[in-house]
Structure 1
Amino acid sequence: MFEFFFYGLQQDIKLFLFFPILSAIFRTVFIKLYQPYPSFQGKSKALLACFRYGFWLGMDFNAYVFLASMILVSIPSAFFDFFQVHGLALRLGIGVIYAAILYAAFMGKMIFYRHFHDTFNYLVHMGKHAEKHNLVDVFFHQDHGLLILLGYIPYVPAVLLGCWVLQQIPSVGLPHFNSTIVQYIFNTGIFLLAILGFYWVRFGGTLNHRNKPEWDTIPSIVKEDAFLARACVDDLVALKWVRRKPLAEEMQQSDETLAEHITKIMPSEHTADWQALKSPLLAYQRVAQGPKIKKPQHVFFIVGESVPQWALDPLYAGLHVLDATKRFIANPHTMYFNHFLPAGNISRPSIVSLMTGIYDAQLELNEMEAFWHNTVPTSFAGQMKKLGYQTIYWYGGNASNGNFNHFGRAQGFDRVESATDFCGPQAPRTWVGVYDHVFLQEAAKRIKEIQEPTFHFVYTTSNHGPYKIEPVVLKFDKAIFDESIGSDIRDNEERCKALGTAHYADQAVNHFIDEIREAFPDSLILYTGDHSSLYAELGNSSLVPRDYMFRELYCTPLVIHHPQLSTDWFAKAEIGTHLNIIPTVLELIAPKGFTYYSLYPSLTQTQPKYLVTPKQWMTENEVGEVMSGMAERQGEASKEVREKYKPAVDTGCVLASDYVSLTAWLIRHADSCLEKNEAIF
């Protein structure tokens, strides 16, 4: 009876051996396709360490193949003939199921990296409330979803063949002993050794769980290379880490711990008494110094989908993608900030933060009913209403997606207008929203009919994958590229489609700006992106022969225009974030003595040494990433590699956590901290 188990145990080991090999193949493909190096010269030691440590990291899941096969096949085979006869087929079935899961995770990682230049991270959580139709559309029309699914056709037979070949390796017969007691002791020892071996392998070559491979224990030679550090982690392990780590650790902390964090970022006059205030945000009261421009009839705050700073840097000038914005920047009454961080790395956290004046921090305030009925004193629209403005949110898509129809009204907007409604059912659209030029033309038409003072928050959608807008609409001609742009970009259809869409969106927004400037010459206009985007994937191309800089990954521009504006007013501010925008508008137009609330000062004033968002931080000399704890020198994009390093102090990362703690406190104490918006009842 035990002979069948002993034989099966060896077959289980052979089945298990296939999956570290498969994981190594996936790792090789990932490194080969996405590697950011001109060559692998000098990388042999780091690559070897990456594969070695990745092998042990992957055992966290791969070891379960052995356990599943042992429990489901080998143990029953000691008692039932069926499992003896069909053991091979059952094991192959187990192998194929697990291999199919690995394939799905790997392809998901490849897509994720293509969009976010990272392996699975906190953004996975954001899929819960994402627009599912758009995700499906992106998968099939931008990420070659059909080919990925068809890939199972050759993949499954290849897995079956690989597992079958390993199953044909000869097995060792069960040793027999004359003594029954010795035989039982030996058999028991084999069984216990199998269990012990499972744990030893799963824990990465140790029986001490504390020594189990984790992110923090990745060898320095690997971890110093951000790309190889990502490649080292198997896909299911990365997903496990994402699932294990909630969107924000701060939400799990006690009130006492949150209070300690919040106290550190409080204005000095309120460090001792902020908890006595109805809301901690009331501690950030500021007083306007007096208007710098004549109060405009209309204030336009335009947020473009995926407007990256890198596309405005000289290195990328030959692409001519954002030339319309460059012309706008060239106006002598336009101020341009090119060291500027968005409030979030994807759309919704940025928009929520821009509306509320606090960081959303991927906590999805727009999905919380407390924020559908209540507001905060820092809200953009709410404070503009106090200056006598009607407030309208013009969205290029459907504002009910993400519940912005409820959220926007609660945060002070008198009207929330969806292009999917006011542009009509026949308006051309992507899954995300109506084509920008159609949306903005119709919005401009309606805006021209408004006589009362109005604050307009305008948010476009078209520069978003999948890039399916028709060429006749894009009107993009590769002839605009300078001769310096190589054929790897010029002749790449996908890259050109992405660049063409960005060019189209840029033209549409700036045509809208020209139109409103003509209709309302005294308008105050601000233009920024919701976040950066690596459209066209130019890393490691002839134009950018290196990995991406933090500047390229994260920064977006801010442009401010008014016919009375002087760039000298902003001499004290070389850096900024989205949360600087609200106080900047108020300091430009509010009467002297007007009180308002903002976490950060106006860009007309001196900035703190560190400006932080939940995921990045910036000083005049550095820009850093919270997740990795790394930094790089501030500066425009160039062809040279911008070395990343561990800063001498972790002030930026600590401050980022402090500001997330503030948002966590407001959520936890929503009943007492939020203000009921009577206008929506």
Structure 2
Amino acid sequence: MIHRLSWANWGHFYRAFLKGLKVCVFYLAVLSLFRLFFIAWLHAYMAPGTGTADVIAALLRGTRLSMQTAGALAVCSFLPYLVLAAHAQMARRVFLAINGVLLAVLSVLYVASFPFYRQFHANFNQMLFTGAHDDIGALFWTMVSEHALPVRLAGALLLACMLWRVLRALFDWNFFECVFSARSFSAPVRFLGRMAFLVLLCLAGLLAVFGGSLGWETAVNWENAGVTRDAFLNEAILDNAQAIYRARELNRRMLACNGLDFTADDIRLLAARLAHREPTSDDLDDYLMRTAEGARLEKPRHVIVVLSESLANWPLLDKYKNIPIASGLRSLIAEEDTDYCPTFLPNGASTVSAVTGVVTGFADANLYLTTMPEAFAAPYPTASAPQMERLGYETNFWYAGPATWERIGAFTQAQGFAHFYSRGDFGDVPGSVWGCEDEVLYEKVLAGLTDEPSFNVVLNASNHSPYDLDLQAKGFDAAAVRAALPAEAQKDDWLVKELGHYWYADRELTKFVHAVREKDPTALLVIVGDHGDRYNIDKTPLLYERYGIPFIVTGAGIRKGVLSAESAGSQIDILPTLFELIAPKGFAYSAIGTSLTQNTQGVNYGFWITRHAIGKADTAPLVPESLTGGEPPAIDDAALQDYMDAVRSISWWRAKYGNILDDRILEEKGR
């Protein structure tokens, strides 16, 4: 039974709630110290120019935000204690057991946040939920081999044990409980003490509810916490619990699609602008129809799109030309029958977004297509395989990993690919938990090219954690790469290993291109990365260096300048580019993207890019950043915003609601 809280049993009320306050202060101190050490240990990720004032601002803002987390944790352990207060020993044991679990979870999350930030340059985010759809076994062994999971877990549990002993000592220390209950004080002093305690209790409650504020108007939460000019510090402001809450909220919005708020009329107008026509039709597919202007080269026998794992564009930039990890692609780009767009974005932050972009032609629009029943009902009109089949090509999807990853086998075939090949089809071949080695995959693809015309999408996996290739056996010159790095990076063995895997991917990809050309001199190949945001030499890279991927097109008939001199784009523009290169004049196709023979802007889930600038998609107005870090160029804000809204809203509606534009569909199905 809970004691009746009255002045007669003030001591019970006072002692119980004071223990709750002590627990709240304890958790606030732990979270604040966690944040301080996190910043100190990973300080290399702070941008140049970040000063002490920025760090102090982050620590103060984080402490305010963590008041909310600390309050929630204290309530979790305090309420059971309050219910069992009549049974002191049982209440104490339950209290300590609950806090033991809470501290273990906090400590494990904290230890895990260090490698997570190094990998994704962020505190816990939606990648947690993306990983939940991934190959759990592969993730587990990656964490064991790459991130020393057993050692980190043991360290986290040891940390939890130490914190639990401190909390137990604090819980049993009754100094404050005895002060105001001392009968040596006069009645007026005891009364004032009680009033002061109640005020303190109310104040603590408000600070916990409103994140370090006394009202919602000034409340701190995960959405407004990032107040510094440094991206790393803004992530450090979020304690791990708040970061997971942010990830959950963003994932919930993604699943509910309430991150996009467009009416049917909005989409009709945007689609009409994208198609350069009047908004007269309620059939969205009408606005997606395109007509090829005429082939720019002889029709190739084989068309191959290589989605290369983590193939970032930054190693191809002039400033990194002395680092010998991309010599193959550099030499390929220099050839006369190759053209290159250096301003290209991935469709999303992960491989599955790249796959859905190339397979369906849809932009990343808060939808997880490989889990949606609609995506398995029939191919979308913008899907690549059925349209390439209309040009006379047999369609094949080649994947280095297992067919069950992200349901990729079932998904690609549901979207029209006639054949799907994965690691299970290749026999006992070398590779990591994520897939076979690139050279094995390319050998299988090469063997599969027959005299019959084919369209092939190839997704490799070697340039991916756990980065366990035997690089020395492959011929990687680690010493030469290390010597070419900046002095502060030369001692980073892990970075050298990552760069070695890029070197391997570059070498095998270039060998594959030459082997295909030798087998089929008419072949056309497109090379893009699936994403680029995994590792950089610079701890605080420019947006362009962090997120950009290359677009390379090579083959018979390709020449320098076949792509627009101002070309820029993203993965939804790959298929339209192919059609404008090889399809006969008048060939009708469906697409949301635009051929790079014309397109001058690219967008994805969070960024936009032109030939001269890049920026985040969620600012108003848009803020351009020069690709080289210099003075930002001028942009057409309205045109870029319209283009971003168009490709995302069309992709969102068409994938989820179909081709008819009618707001009643939203009411029936819900957003």
TM-score (norm 2): 0.88
Match of 1:242 in 2: 247
CA shift, 1:439, in A, is: 1.6
Residues 499 and 590 of structure 1: is their aligned pair in 2 closer, same or farther, counting only changes over 3 Å? same
Q: Secondary structure at the match of 2:306?
A: strand
Letter in 1 for 2:263: T
CA shift, 1:572, in A, is: 4.2
Residues 179 and 36 of structure 1: is their aligned pair in 2 closer, same or farther, counting only changes over 3 Å? closer
Match of 2:28 in 1: 20
Which aligned runs of 4 or more in structure 1 are off by greater than 6 angstroms?
37-42, 175-189, 253-256, 641-648
Deviates more, 1:655-664 or 1:248-257: 248-257
| Unmatched runs of 5 consecutive residues or more in structure 1 | 541-546, 674-681
Contact (CA 8 Å) 1:4, 1:74: kept in 2 or not?
Answer: no
Match of 1:538 in 2: 537
Contact (CA 8 Å) 1:580, 1:601: kept in 2 or not?
Answer: yes
* 1:601-649 deviation per Cα after TM superposition (whole angstroms, max 9, x unaligned): 21122x35x432222111233211235677453335xxxx669999995
Distance 1:595 1:349 in 2: 26
Contact (CA 8 Å) 1:57, 1:214: kept in 2 or not?
Answer: yes
Contact (CA 8 Å) 2:385, 2:416: kept in 1 or not?
Answer: yes
* 1:377-434 deviation per Cα after TM superposition (whole angstroms, max 9, x unaligned): 212122111111111111112233222222212222111111331x21x211211111
Q: How many residues end up aligned between the 2 structures?
A: 647
CA shift, 1:170, in A, is: 1.8
Q: Secondary structure at the match of 1:624?
A: strand
Distance 1:290 1:228 in 2: 52
Letter in 2 for 1:61: T
Residues 548 and 461 of structure 1: is their aligned pair in 2 closer, same or farther, counting only changes over 3 Å? same
Match of 2:498 in 1: 498
Match of 2:266 in 1: 260
Contact (CA 8 Å) 1:573, 1:604: kept in 2 or not?
Answer: no
Contact (CA 8 Å) 1:350, 1:530: kept in 2 or not?
Answer: yes
1:128-527 correspondence to structure 2 within 5 Å? 128-167=132-171, 168=173, 170-171=175-176, 172-174=179-181, 194=201, 197-215=204-222, 217-218=224-225, 220=227, 222=228, 224-245=229-250, 246-248=252-254, 251-252=257-258, 257=263, 259-261=265-267, 263-266=269-272, 267=274, 270-275=277-282, 277=283, 280-421=284-425, 423-424=426-427, 426-447=428-449, 450-471=450-471, 473-481=473-481, 483-486=483-486, 489-527=489-527
Distance 1:402 1:73 in 2: 44
Q: Which residue of 584, 591, 595 maps to 1:598? A: 591
Contact (CA 8 Å) 1:361, 1:660: kept in 2 or not?
Answer: yes
Q: Secondary structure at the match of 1:321?
A: coil
Contact (CA 8 Å) 2:400, 2:435: kept in 1 or not?
Answer: yes
Contact (CA 8 Å) 1:616, 1:656: kept in 2 or not?
Answer: no
1:104-143 correspondence to structure 2 within 5 Å? 104-143=108-147
* 1:320-367 deviation per Cα after TM superposition (whole angstroms, max 9, x unaligned): 111111111111111011111111121001111111111143522122
Contact (CA 8 Å) 1:527, 1:559: kept in 2 or not?
Answer: yes
CA shift, 1:528, in A, is: 0.8
Distance 2:339 2:467 in 1: 31
* 1:167-191 deviation per Cα after TM superposition (whole angstroms, max 9, x unaligned): 4372123276999999999979966
Deviates more, 1:160-169 or 1:660-669: 160-169
Letter in 2 for 1:508: E
CA shift, 1:66, in A, is: 3.3
Match of 2:625 in 1: 633
Q: Secondary structure at the match of 1:151?
A: helix
Residues 20 and 327 of structure 1: is their aligned pair in 2 closer, same or farther, counting only changes over 3 Å? same
Contact (CA 8 Å) 1:61, 1:202: kept in 2 or not?
Answer: no
Deviates more, 1:233-242 or 1:254-263: 254-263
CA shift, 1:155, in A, is: 0.6
Match of 1:620 in 2: 611
Contact (CA 8 Å) 1:463, 1:505: kept in 2 or not?
Answer: yes
* 1:60-97 deviation per Cα after TM superposition (whole angstroms, max 9, x unaligned): 210124334442224632x33435xx63x554444433
Q: Which residue of 55, 60, 64 maps to 2:68? A: 60
Deviates more, 1:298-307 or 1:68-77: 68-77
Residues 2 and 499 of structure 1: is their aligned pair in 2 closer, same or farther, counting only changes over 3 Å? same
Contact (CA 8 Å) 2:577, 2:597: kept in 1 or not?
Answer: yes
* 1:102-151 deviation per Cα after TM superposition (whole angstroms, max 9, x unaligned): 22222333232111112223333312311111211221111221221011
Deviates more, 1:659-668 or 1:33-42: 33-42
Q: Secondary structure at the match of 1:592?
A: coil
Does 2:553 match 1:548?
Answer: no
Residues 235 and 399 of structure 1: is their aligned pair in 2 closer, same or farther, counting only changes over 3 Å? same
Q: Which residue of 642, 645, 652 maps to 1:664? A: 652
Letter in 2 for 1:57: L
Q: Secondary structure at the match of 1:350?
A: helix
Contact (CA 8 Å) 2:593, 2:647: kept in 1 or not?
Answer: no
Distance 2:259 2:604 in 1: 19
* 1:8-29 deviation per Cα after TM superposition (whole angstroms, max 9, x unaligned): 3223322222222211222122
CA shift, 1:257, in A, is: 2.4
Distance 1:255 1:40 in 2: 37
CA shift, 1:562, in A, is: 1.8
Distance 2:292 2:165 in 1: 73
| Unmatched runs of 5 consecutive residues or more in structure 2 | 1-8, 662-671
Letter in 2 for 1:510: T
CA shift, 1:653, in A, is: 5.8
CA shift, 1:443, in A, is: 2.1
Q: Secondary structure at the match of 1:403?
A: helix
Match of 1:678 in 2: none
Contact (CA 8 Å) 1:20, 1:58: kept in 2 or not?
Answer: yes
Letter in 1 for 2:245: K
TM-score (norm 1): 0.86
Residues 317 and 482 of structure 1: is their aligned pair in 2 closer, same or farther, counting only changes over 3 Å? farther
Distance 2:82 2:68 in 1: 21
Residues 38 and 82 of structure 1: is their aligned pair in 2 closer, same or farther, counting only changes over 3 Å? closer
Contact (CA 8 Å) 1:258, 1:661: kept in 2 or not?
Answer: no
Match of 2:562 in 1: 569
Contact (CA 8 Å) 1:291, 1:591: kept in 2 or not?
Answer: yes
Residues 286 and 250 of structure 1: is their aligned pair in 2 closer, same or farther, counting only changes over 3 Å? farther
Residues 114 and 483 of structure 1: is their aligned pair in 2 closer, same or farther, counting only changes over 3 Å? closer
Distance 2:123 2:25 in 1: 25
Q: Secondary structure at the match of 2:420?
A: strand
Q: Secondary structure at the match of 1:570?
A: coil
Contact (CA 8 Å) 1:356, 1:379: kept in 2 or not?
Answer: yes
